[in-house]
């Protein structure tokens, strides 16, 4: 019987492959047994390596896939706590303001509102629950003001983020957090949490139906960790617990600042449309005490070059007169202003790129605005034709008076308003330098210039975007009066004089001194914002903040409570004729 030929390793012609010398490979390898042990080991390694290479190539072995991207940091804060603030030797002005009885009253009122805020925001999801659990949540909000806290939010693009809040508390307060939060979420969701334990921590976890669908609260040493996310695990909370297990803290001790925070605005999901439209850059905030005042600093990191270009500052130095109590200057906003001008149908020839504002101490409405314009006269003629019809058409039915252009077209007058009369007209410092000058009240007739040091804060600075200075004691009351009038004219409730917020304004106003703010360019995609102030806010920001705190829908809305109905006068009935 004929022997079947074996398949050749070298090809289909049945010829055994040969080595470089013409010897058969099979023959060469067949002599392996007659070679030295070292040669046998070498040949064995050669054939095993060849076999591995052949199999790996045949099985399609490739580089392992890269690890999935780590969730990016979207927001964070680290607050040293009110107790540490009070123990500091700096920031005396802020601490004295916080100690006022009016500050304590406003604080207690705000805590009462915050305790009800979670249920007011989420109650539409839990129609079967009517318990706001405010009495359980209020002491927790109070702890956030006094205790050290650290917060992180992390996430991937197009995925719900995960967040964890760490609060350092005494044992009794920590136990209260675990118990009160467990009772609250069980009351609202009608779902019982599950007890969990891990290396160095214990607590509970709850799986619900709405995103974020996983909630958890655990105690790790003297830290309470509150976490929320989507899925089957709270990885960030577990990471916090590991840090505490290894070092005793979720974050390093902060020794230079009272507060640090970061918000990556472009990457935050589900921003309100008005906030997304601002296109805010990534912002890093620090607040530190410097002697008696606070220094607030923000580093702004833009995702693209901001293309800000410096130009020579133009200030109406002859028009600005004493007694000046506030002054601000801004440049570089022209590219952002242009689309709004086009949408309104306004044509100025050259788009403004600078402005400055100032106010005087004599009358609250002596507040002025000046916009440099190379052709102020012709620009004013265009505005005289365009602005009055635009304003009067859109304010029909409102008690906002009327805008009227003068017969020569060189000014716009705001008529029919109580307490003030607005105007807009061209003004010239020199023959070649014009401004569009506006105000709510006529300028003072005195021609006493402010000190040269005021203008020196702006003139000659090539990286300055914005400068603002004010005497807080003067401007806080002025802004309060102007805000009250604006609400009255808009037919909106005003801040009630007997409210905690109004009383607080009256108490703190005399104690507020100078407030200074600058915004400078520090790189092609970076800007730095710095403020020196007694408590972190300007006067107008303070008025907006107080009105928000007094809102009936705080913190989710901005609507002041309606005034109480007027009391009706009653007269005693006449004495009965039958009585003696």
**Residue by residue, what is the 3-state secondary structure of 349-370?**
CCCCCEEEEEEECCCCCCEEEE
Average pLDDT over residues 454-469: 97
User: Residue 569 — pLDDT band, cuts 50, 70, 90?
Assistant: low
The count of other CB atoms within 10 Å of the CB of residue 157 is: 9
Q: What is the pLDDT, as a whole number, of residue 65?
A: 72
Judge whether residue 4 has pLDDT over 70: no
Distance CA 512, CA 517 (A): 15
User: Residue 32 — pLDDT band, cuts 50, 70, 90?
Assistant: very low
Q: What is the pLDDT, as a whole number, of residue 63?
A: 64
Nearest of 259, 271, 288, 330 to residue 89 by alpha carbon: 288
Distance CA 484, CA 88 (A): 37
Q: What is the pLDDT, as a whole number, of residue 570?
A: 56
| Residues 6+ away with beta carbon under 8 Å from 201 | 218, 219, 220, 225, 241, 244, 245
Judge whether residue 2 has pLDDT over 60: no
Q: What is the pLDDT, as a whole number, of residue 568?
A: 59
Q: What is the pLDDT, as a whole number, of residue 111?
A: 98
**CA 536-539-543 angle, 5° bins:** 105
Map tokens 């693009």 to a residue. 157
Judge whether residue 559 has pLDDT over 90: no
Distance CA 454, CA 320 (A): 11
Average pLDDT over residues 205-216: 90
Of 209 and 136, more confident: 136
Nearest of 493, 513, 514 to residue 502 by alpha carbon: 493
Q: Strand, helix or coil at 542?
A: helix
Could you give the percent of the chain with pLDDT greater than 70?
A: 86
User: Residue 566 — pLDDT band, cuts 50, 70, 90?
Assistant: low
| CA of residue 168 relative to chain centroid, distance | 24
Distance CA 222, CA 143 (A): 14
Distance CA 396, CA 289 (A): 49
Q: What is the pLDDT, as a whole number, of residue 12?
A: 37
Peptide bond connecting 323 to the previous residue in cis, omega within 30 degrees of 0? yes
**CA 416-419-420 angle, 5° bins:** 70
Q: Strand, helix or coil at 67?
A: coil
Q: Strand, helix or coil at 135?
A: helix
Which run of H or E residues covers position 30?
helix 25-30
**What is the tens place of the pLDDT at every residue in 276-316?**
888 899 999 999 999 999 999 999 999 999 999 999 999 99
Q: What is the pLDDT, as a whole number, of residue 405?
A: 95
Average pLDDT over residues 113-135: 88
User: Residue 31 — pLDDT band, cuts 50, 70, 90?
Assistant: very low
Q: Strand, helix or coil at 557?
A: coil
CB 527, CB 465: distance < 8 Å? yes
pTM over 0.95: no
Q: What is the pLDDT, as a whole number, of residue 69?
A: 82
| CA of residue 113 relative to chain centroid, distance | 21
Q: What is the pLDDT, as a whole number, of residue 574?
A: 55
Q: What is the pLDDT, as a whole number, of residue 62?
A: 57
């Amino acid at each position: 019987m004929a022997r079947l030929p074996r398949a050749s390793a070298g090809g289909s012609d049945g010829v055994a492959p040969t080595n470089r010398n013409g010897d058969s490979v099979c023959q060469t390898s067949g002599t392996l047994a007659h070679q030295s042990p070292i040669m046998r080991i070498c040949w064995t390694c050669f054939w095993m390596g060849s076999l591995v290479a052949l199999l790996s190539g045949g099985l399609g072995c490739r580089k392992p896939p890269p690890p999935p991207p780590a969730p990016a940091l979207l927001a964070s804060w680290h607050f040293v706590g009110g107790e540490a603030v009070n123990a500091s030797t700096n920031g005396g002005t802020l601490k004295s303001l916080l100690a006022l009885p009016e500050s304590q009253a406003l604080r207690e009122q705000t805590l009462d509102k915050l305790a009800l805020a979670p249920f007011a925001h989420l109650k539409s999801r839990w129609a079967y629950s009517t318990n706001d659990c405010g009495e359980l949540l209020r002491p927790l909000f109070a702890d956030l003001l006094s205790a050290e806290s650290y917060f992180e939010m992390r996430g991937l693009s197009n995925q719900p983020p995960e967040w964890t809040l760490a609060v350092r508390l005494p044992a009794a307060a920590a136990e209260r957090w675990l118990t009160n939060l467990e009772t609250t979420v069980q009351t609202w969701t009608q779902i019982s949490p599950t007890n969990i334990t891990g290396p160095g921590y214990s607590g509970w976890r709850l799986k619900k139906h709405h995103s974020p669908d996983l909630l958890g609260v655990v105690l790790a040493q003297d830290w309470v960790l509150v976490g929320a996310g989507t899925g089957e695990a709270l990885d960030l909370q577990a990471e916090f617990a590991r840090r505490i297990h290894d070092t005793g803290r979720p974050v390093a001790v902060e020794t230079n600042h009272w507060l640090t925070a970061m918000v990556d605005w472009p990457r935050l999901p589900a921003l309100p449309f008005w906030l997304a439209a601002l296109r805010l850059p990534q912002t890093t905030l620090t607040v530190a005490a410097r002697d008696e005042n606070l220094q607030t600093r923000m580093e702004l990191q833009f995702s693209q070059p901001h293309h800000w270009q410096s130009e020579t500052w133009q200030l109406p130095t002859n028009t600005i007169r004493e007694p000046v109590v506030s002054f601000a200057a801004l440049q570089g906003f022209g590219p952002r202003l242009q689309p709004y001008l086009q949408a309104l149908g306004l044509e100025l020839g050259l788009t403004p790129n600078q402005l400055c504002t100032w106010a005087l101490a004599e009358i609250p409405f002596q507040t002025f605005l000046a916009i440099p314009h190379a052709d102020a006269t012709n620009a004013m003629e265009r505005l005289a034709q365009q602005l009055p019809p635009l304003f009067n058409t859109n304010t029909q039915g409102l008690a906002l008076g009327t805008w009227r252009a003068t017969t020569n077209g060189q000014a716009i007058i705001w008529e029919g308003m109580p307490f003030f009369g607005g105007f807009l007209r061209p003004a010239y410092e020199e023959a070649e330098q014009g401004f569009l000058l506006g105000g709510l009240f006529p300028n003072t007739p005195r021609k006493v210039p402010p000190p040269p040091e005021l203008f020196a804060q702006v003139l000659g600075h090539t990286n300055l975007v914005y400068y603002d200075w004010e005497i807080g004691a003067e401007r806080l009351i002025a802004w309060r009066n102007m805000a009250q009038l604006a609400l009255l004219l808009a037919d909106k409730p005003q801040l009630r004089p007997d409210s905690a917020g109004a009383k607080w304004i009256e108490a703190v106003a005399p104690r507020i001194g100078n407030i200074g703010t600058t915004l400078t360019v520090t790189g092609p995609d970076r800007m730095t914002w710095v403020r020196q102030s007694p408590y972190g806010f300007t006067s107008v920001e303070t008025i907006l903040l107080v009105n928000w705190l007094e809102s009936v829908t705080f913190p989710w809305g901005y609507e002041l409570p309606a005034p109480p109905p007027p009391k009706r006068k009653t007269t005693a009935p006449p004495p009965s004729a039958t009585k003696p």
